């Protein structure tokens, strides 16, 4: 177990949030009633807790120029990224950049659920878009 890092969520891109909520609810997941729109990312989100740390996050684009819309157009609906919770996202970003990893944003941005986030470029993570997140 990593002392300062744990799996926060697996994000799934979808073109129909509510039908995907219904689909995953059949597995026994219980989604929060609240839907959050993250204006900067141009997405609407739904979260379901798996345990005290890990969640499933569903992402629906709110605009045709959102990264999630482009992802769905290119690859179809499916797993979009993994997110790891860290105590200090900027400190972790600097640590990882010093090890040669590239980030999507030069500085962390506001994410869903009152978090500060940044994404490690997939080329730095063997093809997997990886988010680091800090609860504010």
Q: How many domains is the chain partitioned into structurally?
A: 1
**What is d(CA 19, CA 16) in angstroms, rounded to the nearest whole number?**
6
Domain range spanning residue 122? Answer: 6-135
Alpha carbons 115 and 106: distance in angstroms, whole number: 17
In this structure, the strands spanning 36-38 and 43-49 are antiparallel
CATH number, residue 106: 3.10.180.10
* For residue 1, pLDDT beyond 60: no
The pLDDT tens digits for 43-99 are: 999 999 999 889 999 999 999 999 999 999 999 999 999 999 999 999 999 999 999
Judged against a pLDDT cut of 90, whether residue 4 lies above it is answered with no
Please report the pLDDT score of residue 113 as a whole number. Answer: 87
Position 1 in a domain? no
**Which pLDDT score is estimated for 2?**
59
The pTM of this model reads 0.91
Residue 28 in domain: yes
Task: With respect to residue 71, please indicate whether it lies within any of the assigned structural domains.
Answer: yes
């Amino acid at each position: 177990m990593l002392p300062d890092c744990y799996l926060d969520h697996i994000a799934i891109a979808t073109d129909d949030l509510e039908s995907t909520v219904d689909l995953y609810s059949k597995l026994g997941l219980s989604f929060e009633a609240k839907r959050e729109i993250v204006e900067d990312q141009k997405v609407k989100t739904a979260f379901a807790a798996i345990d005290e740390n890990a969640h499933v996050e569903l992402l629906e684009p709110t605009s045709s120029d959102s990264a999630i819309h482009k992802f769905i157009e290119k690859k179809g609906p499916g797993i979009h990224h993994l997110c790891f919770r860290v105590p200090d996202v900027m400190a972790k970003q600097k640590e990882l950049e010093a090890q040669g990893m590239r980030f999507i944003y030069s500085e962390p941005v506001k994410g869903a659920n009152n978090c500060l986030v940044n994404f490690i470029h997939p080329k730095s993570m063997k093809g997997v878009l990886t988010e680091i997140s800090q609860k504010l």
